[in-house]
Structure 1
């Protein structure tokens, strides 16, 4: 296709997603070995009224093997438009090193953020052929840069550069007591990748005996060096089987799964804070359920954590930790990956790529052999893990969802994401990069898992450009599932508590008494939150929602829908469960600010709104039970309950690929409101068990809330039939054990088909 035709096609493409997918048409149309296309592309790039086409032109420019194109691309690294700098740093990754661009890429590293992460990645690639030049450029930048955070980024990038020049500089930085800790940590972590460097080994050994963060990171670096120098020697406490046992598949499979944006613990105490969403709960429950399946021997769940916690989870690390137990004897291993940075949102975590790769590689090697790695979501954790898996020869299963494709399409349809605004939005959300990452992960995967959707084939084709009929054997639809026993126990407790005159439990058995005490504490907490509302708000049913305080989850939109309707306000109190209210992230603060603006506009709504913050999963389950059955404890008005029964559950997500919290609400017997696309549309019987609405604007949620409250208050026989229908459906199709069973078949097939030889890192 001629260049002018490609430009015309791009301009005529109506939807943003289609432009993202067809951008390669423009790149394919340029003159690869001449400069004729450069002026045309630069004209497109300079047009800030169409950021989408500008970005496409940047990547097309990178296809031209001509000095004028390279000079233009280098100049874009200094553009006053941040998104052009970002995409130029990305585009240069495919080019040969260009000396005048090195200094600009180094400035990008100093600036940090996503652009810095891309610049670092490009410098790492270029260092394969010009290591000393790049190492000297980084050293020069360190000599003139005094701020700790930029110096730490420069040190981390230096750690990616092979050769003695970078190695000497890293040793100096790591050992310098006058250097700031963040810089020393970055340099020390990098020394673990230099096992052949005697000086690096000496520095690591020297500081591995110290306490504190530097000592922790030095011990991790020493562990990395040991793994590299002794790949065939199993560490003390290691799970590595004999090579012939692994080759004969005489033991069960080891499955690794990860989500690096969560602080995953067995109690799920951080669920709902930051990015600790439903996937954190799912991975814990799923990992336990997989172990009940024949053929699964171990599950490794990786999430973020401290350097100290990471070391404690590694086999053989007890040699450094005299006060900790040896190894990790559990079959479901929670392995923290130290990102060596403050916890941040998924959209802002891309600069942790290097630490993520290092930590994932360490965990998989130390706890391996891993037979299958299951990746979900197009984020930095999956990107890092896919790179590690490729190097170690571990087959990958990828859960493919139209994310961020679904959000892009929804925002496009709502008119809030346009060609002109795309660049600025992309600076924060990185939609272009994430859509390409989904493509890469899907291409690398040995098998692809899909969520159920009403129009699955059509959606995948329209949103991702994938035709699953081309190779149906590579795709399996697996619904997510919940642990229904948790909900069932909570319902029993909630119903008993709601009975008039019910007093606290008097069980003689200490274990039962402890469990009852925990349940009472959860219910008491909800009672206290509602009791803190003005007395005239007592005795109303609850509209409850559970999730992260993030714009994709629509929490602020739910408040807007409820607050602007006097009838809804008079009929219910609204409870939002989720978010770190004490130390909100930028995304959380954005939602809180929107909520506050709504309350200023509708001051009466403040009396009926409860911001509960994040709560553990078992507490949330009990609150769902209380939403259904109510609470009889009201000191102000004994004649009526503090919380009336027949509450409802509302989900305001722009998109919901499946919806763990929605399934839990259905299992609890609540009428639910959910988005009218994606996974929920496959299991919510519209008008019967819940309502599917347009969640992009408050009007749709408002309509759903009205209908849901009316349906929840239906006569007992109608209500019982609805509840039975919803609960039977969840039990039959959406349990976590059913999900584990389906995935086990996938894992067994992938492991059986894997032709990768046993790598030296895994051999005895």
Structure 2
């Protein structure tokens, strides 16, 4: 093809997702041709205004094993453009160590963020060959840095240098009472990875005797020092499933706040359903659901996981920081990897690890699974590909501004992570989509027909018992019976509406307050036309008391449409996050109405830029509500256009508004419950949590059997 032709193909790609995929061809041509001319062409592309091409050219340079290419990439570590510094640090990870780049990589670690994570990752990879040089560089940097967070990152990096040279400084920092606690925590956590060294054990046992945060971390490090890879194991399968960015508990008390979205609900319901599934030939006896927690939580959960008692247990990974939104959580890689390794080793024989998202949790857990030889099942979806495509279509994302946005969203890294996880997984699970084979091929680059035995299509599912209880309570309230406690809370919220707005139907949506979920877009669509005169809008989700950065962004966008003090007067109700059972009852109330406050036949609205499947949508349909859903992804496979809902390009405010209006008209015109029954039947027949558990149990069994056969295979003697 030639380097210039490959560059032109990236520039002229019709879609951003095509350009990202074509960057692989560019890298191949660069590695094939090499030489001064190719390096000059790529350097020119990096210096240009096209940010996506500049990123592609940076990674293409990394495939040229030439001193000039090394120098060019190293210089990018000092670029004025932040996204180039990040991608250069990432690209250097595939190169041989360069002493002239070490100090600048350490500088990125000091700055922190995603760039600090990829720089630290490169330094870790290089430390196998240049341990002394990196350790001395990090210790030198510590002499001039006072900021505690920067010192934490440096000490954590020192802990990744797998050489005895780092033990003495780690012990000194851990025992320094004048040091910031968080910095000592980094040192103590790193000491747990050094094995049964007498000096380390003596210090950790002494530190663990206190009653403090540092003592909790010391106790975890002692677990790591004395970890054994084999304890008791149930007779059936043990499956671990992970979602880091949530506080997942059996009662689902945090759903809807921060990153605690539908996946938290799914993992709890699925874990319970897996152990209840009666297939004796492929029985899952233990499910370990892993999410974040404090160091103290982690100490307790290690003991619980290690008991090997059948059932559904919850393991906690201490991130050693305050909860961070998923887009900003990449610097937690090291802490997460240690926490996941600790839990999987304590479990004493995990048969399958199921990963679902291209985030720091999956990045870290995949490394652990490879180290411990645990088979991986990966649920692969075009994420962030679908988001990139939606932003591309809306004009918010282009080749010219891609790098600036990528610096926050890390689209390029996540796309590559999806490819890596899918390629290395023992089995991939996919959601139904209208054009699944095409989307996987064009968006993700996976040919499902190449190895069909490695892929399974498994729809998500919901617990119909939860929905049926919610529907029964809402119907009773509409019939004049006293409100249950959950619905009484809804009444209290509805009573904040002025008299002039009472008696209107409800538009309702449940979900995280994140740009991808489109909550602010729903508000804009509802308030911008006549919809606000025809219905009130209830949004269930978000931490309103202590909002995250993403939640603040969505709230600010809503306030720009309707100032916070005027929300109720205008018919906008923000309920904040609610436990799943309560949210289900409130959604059901939108169908039946609330006497004196809400008219029946409301509508559920999902305004997501993309929705891989849509747990909340399924729950709304099972409740009998008419729905508005994204025209693509999973919803397009189960929402029947103009029959059970309206599919719309949710990234377009005007078209979303039109769809919401049509949905209200359609629901209001219904004279019986036939359509509601059809919506419920759609879910009942195909999308229950029990059906999902049955399909996944077979997947886990097949993967385990294949792994056992591989381990037993012996190369025949010639």
Moved more, 308-317 or 724-733: 308-317
**Helix, strand or coil for the counterpart of 1:470?**
coil
The match for 2:302 among 314, 318, 324 is 314
Q: Hey, what does 2:676 align to over in structure 1?
A: 723
Q: Hey, what does 2:448 align to over in structure 1?
A: 468
Q: Hey, what does 1:411 align to over in structure 2?
A: 391
d(CA) in 2 for partners of 1:548 and 1:253? 33
1:353 aligns with 2:370: no
TM-score (norm 1): 0.90
d(CA) in 1 for partners of 2:670 and 2:57? 62
The 5 A counterparts of 1:338-737 are 338-500=318-480, 502-503=481-482, 520-566=484-530, 568-599=531-562, 607-632=570-595, 641-717=596-672, 720-737=673-690
Q: Hey, what does 1:257 align to over in structure 2?
A: 241
Does structure 2 conserve the Cα–Cα contact (< 8 Å) formed by 1:599 and 1:606?
Answer: no
1:302 aligns with 2:290: yes
389 and 419 in structure 1: CA distance in 2 versus 1, 3 angstrom threshold: same
Task: Give the deviation of 1:626 after TM superposition.
Answer: 1.1
Task: Give the deviation of 1:601 after TM superposition.
Answer: 12
Does structure 1 conserve the Cα–Cα contact (< 8 Å) formed by 2:285 and 2:310?
Answer: no
Task: Give the deviation of 1:606 after TM superposition.
Answer: 5.2
d(CA) in 1 for partners of 2:565 and 2:663? 22
d(CA) in 1 for partners of 2:463 and 2:500? 37
Task: Give the deviation of 1:630 after TM superposition.
Answer: 1.4
Task: Give the deviation of 1:240 after TM superposition.
Answer: 3.3
Does structure 2 conserve the Cα–Cα contact (< 8 Å) formed by 1:563 and 1:602?
Answer: no
1:58 aligns with 2:58: yes
Task: Give the deviation of 1:37 after TM superposition.
Answer: 2.2
Task: Give the deviation of 1:689 after TM superposition.
Answer: 0.7
d(CA) in 2 for partners of 1:535 and 1:483? 37
1:289 aligns with 2:299: no
Does structure 2 conserve the Cα–Cα contact (< 8 Å) formed by 1:59 and 1:87?
Answer: yes
Q: Hey, what does 2:716 align to over in structure 1?
A: none
**Helix, strand or coil for the counterpart of 2:222?**
helix
1:35 aligns with 2:14: no
**Helix, strand or coil for the counterpart of 2:691?**
helix
1:545-569 C-alpha deviation (Å, 9 max, x unpaired): 0001011111111000000113x11
**Structure 1, unpaired ranges of 5+:** 242-250, 318-325, 505-519, 633-640, 759-764
Does structure 2 conserve the Cα–Cα contact (< 8 Å) formed by 1:543 and 1:572?
Answer: yes
Does structure 2 conserve the Cα–Cα contact (< 8 Å) formed by 1:563 and 1:605?
Answer: no
Task: Give the deviation of 1:715 after TM superposition.
Answer: 3.8
1:745 aligns with 2:698: yes
TM-score (norm 2): 0.96
d(CA) in 2 for partners of 1:226 and 1:397? 29
The 5 A counterparts of 1:183-222 are 183-222=183-222
d(CA) in 2 for partners of 1:276 and 1:4? 46
d(CA) in 2 for partners of 1:332 and 1:316? 11
d(CA) in 1 for partners of 2:176 and 2:585? 53
**Structure 2, unpaired ranges of 5+:** 713-718
d(CA) in 1 for partners of 2:170 and 2:10? 47
d(CA) in 2 for partners of 1:479 and 1:125? 38
316 and 287 in structure 1: CA distance in 2 versus 1, 3 angstrom threshold: closer
Moved more, 655-664 or 28-37: 28-37
1:518-554 C-alpha deviation (Å, 9 max, x unpaired): xx22112211111112221111111000001011111
Does structure 2 conserve the Cα–Cα contact (< 8 Å) formed by 1:77 and 1:104?
Answer: yes
Task: Give the deviation of 1:19 after TM superposition.
Answer: 1.1
Q: Hey, what does 1:89 align to over in structure 2?
A: 89
Does structure 1 conserve the Cα–Cα contact (< 8 Å) formed by 2:252 and 2:579?
Answer: yes
1:103 aligns with 2:103: yes
Q: Hey, what does 1:67 align to over in structure 2?
A: 67
**Helix, strand or coil for the counterpart of 1:580?**
coil
Q: Hey, what does 2:257 align to over in structure 1?
A: 273
Task: Give the deviation of 1:310 after TM superposition.
Answer: 1.1
Does structure 2 conserve the Cα–Cα contact (< 8 Å) formed by 1:315 and 1:367?
Answer: no
d(CA) in 1 for partners of 2:269 and 2:460? 11
Q: Root-mean-square deviation (CA), in Å?
A: 1.7
Task: Give the deviation of 1:481 after TM superposition.
Answer: 0.2
64 and 731 in structure 1: CA distance in 2 versus 1, 3 angstrom threshold: same
The 5 A counterparts of 1:231-250 are 231=229, 234=231, 239-240=232-233
d(CA) in 1 for partners of 2:116 and 2:670? 60
d(CA) in 2 for partners of 1:706 and 1:651? 14
**Helix, strand or coil for the counterpart of 2:449?**
helix
Task: Give the deviation of 1:10 after TM superposition.
Answer: 2.1
1:432-455 C-alpha deviation (Å, 9 max, x unpaired): 000000000001111111100111
**Helix, strand or coil for the counterpart of 1:674?**
strand
715 and 675 in structure 1: CA distance in 2 versus 1, 3 angstrom threshold: closer
d(CA) in 1 for partners of 2:564 and 2:642? 32
Moved more, 296-305 or 2-11: 2-11
Task: Give the deviation of 1:604 after TM superposition.
Answer: 8.3
1:12 aligns with 2:12: yes
Does structure 2 conserve the Cα–Cα contact (< 8 Å) formed by 1:549 and 1:588?
Answer: yes
d(CA) in 1 for partners of 2:615 and 2:56? 37
Moved more, 150-159 or 37-46: 37-46
Q: Hey, what does 1:244 align to over in structure 2?
A: none
